[in-house]
Amino acid sequence: MSASMATARAIPAAATSCILSRTPFLRSLGRNTICFSRAKLISPSSRRLFSCRAIYNPQIQIKEEGKPETLDYRVFLVDNSGKRVSPWHDLPLHLGDGIFNFVVEIPKESSAKMEIATDEPFTPIKQDTKKGKLRYYPYNIHWNYGMLPQTWEDPLLANSEVEGAFGDNDPVDVVEIGDTRREIGQILRVKPLAALAMIDEGELDWKIVAISLDDPKAPSLNDVGDVEKHFPGTLSAIRDWFRDYKIPDGKPANRFGLGNKPASKDYALKIITETNESWAKLVKRSIPSGELSLV
């Protein structure tokens, strides 16, 4: 890829958080920093692995390579030295106080099916393909859609609460319901509000419903009931959208477990914790990674 075909855009500082090194070390971020490397616990006082409680704002940039809506198009994240970082493995999940990092893959009111390339080094964002052709949703998605870093839905782990379905081998998906349209690769601080247990061709594909902290309505939303109060009809619309989006292509509708209803914030947090633990086993190579990139 020639330099003329690559562009870089700074992510607004308020929308970014800390980057973890690929080797165990503690970055000096101030007296109150509690950081962990990807595979080694640094601070014995914390109960959770793979997190960073300091809200640190390096000059992370979105670097585009190739032309949008082509097979070569990739969106990388790079740090202020120009080094690539993985949005899946290098961004911390936890920011403390029930706040999490969220990486935008698909901006609201767009239809190109963008996703983390889990099998490519540094896991850039690319447009999904089928039989060599770029994939699009049959209609726009009405929310910002993306993933939680450092999570993984284990395809060998059956969920006894959701029809014994196995994970879909991807990071956990997030539907961010705020009013602002975001950019591909943008990092937001979000708080989970609910969870939908989508079953896609027999695979469990969680949808965490969340709100970005910089949305004006965020202070009023703290659980699943608040979504219906302040965004009436949104939970049903999300469920129906994901249920039906494959029908125009001649495929059956997706199904939902847990009684076809959205689960609470506490349940969403449980799912995030479980999938974070699965990711930890993956990167420590406690379980086979298959074709997934751990770089």
CATH of domain 3-283: 3.90.80.10
Tens digit of each residue's pLDDT (9 = 90 or more) over 114-161: 999 999 999 999 999 999 999 999 999 999 999 999 999 999 999 999
Higher pLDDT, 51 or 136: 136
β-partners of residue 96 are 99
What are the DSSP calls for 93-150, one per residue? SEEETTEEEEEEEE-TTEEE-EEE-TTSTT--EEE-EETTEE-EEEEEESSEEEE-TT
pLDDT at 9: 65
User: What tens digit of pLDDT does each residue of 250-278 get?
Assistant: 999 999 999 999 999 999 999 999 999 99
DSSP 188-212: EEEEEEEEEEEEETTEEEEEEEEEE
Q: Which residues of 51-77 are buried (b: 16+ CB within 10 A; e: fewer)?
A: bbbbebebebbbbbbeeeeeeebbbbb
The pLDDT assigned to 60 comes to 85
* Given 56, 73, 136, 137, the catalytic residue: 137
Average pLDDT, the chain: 85
Query: Is residue 249 within 8 Å of residue 214, measured between CB atoms?
Result: no
Residue ranges covered by each domain of the chain: 3-283
56 included as an active-site residue: no
Distance CA(209)–CA(248), nearest Å, equals 25
Cα 199 to Cα 23, 75, 104, 284: the distances in Å are: 36, 28, 22, 28
